[in-house]
Amino acid sequence: MRDIEDSSVLNKFLEYTSSFESRFYDYRMRNQINPKNISKEVALVTIDDYSLEKLGVWPIPRSVHAQMIDKLKEFGAKVVALDILYPEKAPVCGPSSPDDTLATSFQNFQADGNRVFLAYTTGTSIEDSFSEVPVEMLNDTVLTRSSSDMNMHAYRISRYTFPIEKFVSSEVGLASIATYEDPDGIFRQSLLVLNVDTIYFGSLGFNAWEAYTEKKHEVKIFNDGTGELEVDGQKLELNNRGETKIRYLGGIDNFPNVHLYDLLHAKPNDPKMLKALQGKIVFVGSTALGAHDLRPTPIDPKLPGVLTHMNMANMLIHKYFYKPSNDSVKYSLYLLLAGMLIFFGVQRVGSAFLDLFAIILIIGTIFGADYFYFLPQGYELKLFYSFFCLGASYSWNTFLKFSETSKEKKQIKGTFARYVAPTIVDEMLKDPEKLHVGGFKRDITCLFSDVRDFTSISEGLTASELAHSLNLYMGRMTDIVFDTRGTLDKYIGDAIVAFWGAPLEIGNHAQYAVEGAIKMMELLPSINQEFIKLGRPEFKVGIGLNSGECNVGNMGSDRIFSYTALGDNMNLGARLEGLCKYYGANILISEYTLARIDRTKIKVRPIDKVIVKGKTTAVSIFEVLHGWHPMTLDPETHNLYLSAWNLFQQKDFTKAVDICEIILMKLPDDKPTERLKNICNKFVKNPELAGEDFDITKMTEK
Quote the DSSP letter at residue 370. Answer: I
DSSP 267-311: PTT-HHHHHHHTTSEEEEEE--GGGS-EE--SS-TTEETHHHHHH
Quote the DSSP letter at residue 170. Answer: T
Helix (H) or strand (E) holding 623: strand 619-624
The Cα 484–Cα 472 span in angstroms is 19
pLDDT in tens, 360-386: 898 889 888 888 888 888 888 888 888
**Is 684 within 8 Å of 653 (Cβ atoms)?**
yes
**Is 695 within 8 Å of 685 (Cβ atoms)?**
no
Q: Which of 406-420, 489-503, 592-606, 625-639 has the lowest mean pLDDT?
A: 406-420
Q: Which of 226-240, 344-358, 414-428 has the lowest mean pLDDT?
A: 414-428
The Cα 265–Cα 36 span in angstroms is 28
Please give the C-alpha separations between residue 362 and each of 130, 340, 351, 375, 393, in angstroms, as whole numbers.
Answer: 56, 9, 16, 18, 13
Confidence bin at 308 (pLDDT 50/70/90): very high
**Is 457 within 8 Å of 534 (Cβ atoms)?**
no
The Cα 178–Cα 119 span in angstroms is 9
**Is 577 within 8 Å of 449 (Cβ atoms)?**
yes
Between the two ends of the chain, the Cα-to-Cα distance in Å is: 56
Residue 600: exposure state from Cβ atoms within 10 A (0-12, 13-18, ≥19):
exposed
The Cα 101–Cα 65 span in angstroms is 9
Please give the C-alpha separations between residue 217 and each of 201, 207, 625, in angstroms, as whole numbers.
Answer: 11, 10, 76
The Cα 421–Cα 417 span in angstroms is 7
pLDDT in tens, 398-433: 777 766 655 666 655 655 565 556 666 666 666 665
Q: Which amino acid is at 158?
A: S
pLDDT in tens, 536-566: 999 999 999 999 999 988 777 766 777 789 9
pTM for the model: 0.56
Count other Cβ atoms within 10 Å, centred on residue 691.
8
**Is 109 within 8 Å of 72 (Cβ atoms)?**
yes
Q: Which amino acid is at 599?
A: R
**Is 123 within 8 Å of 129 (Cβ atoms)?**
yes
**Is 589 within 8 Å of 595 (Cβ atoms)?**
no
Q: Which of 68-82, 206-220, 435-449, 685-699 has the lowest mean pLDDT?
A: 435-449
Residue from 562, 557, 552 nearest 416 by CA: 562
The Cα 427–Cα 438 span in angstroms is 16
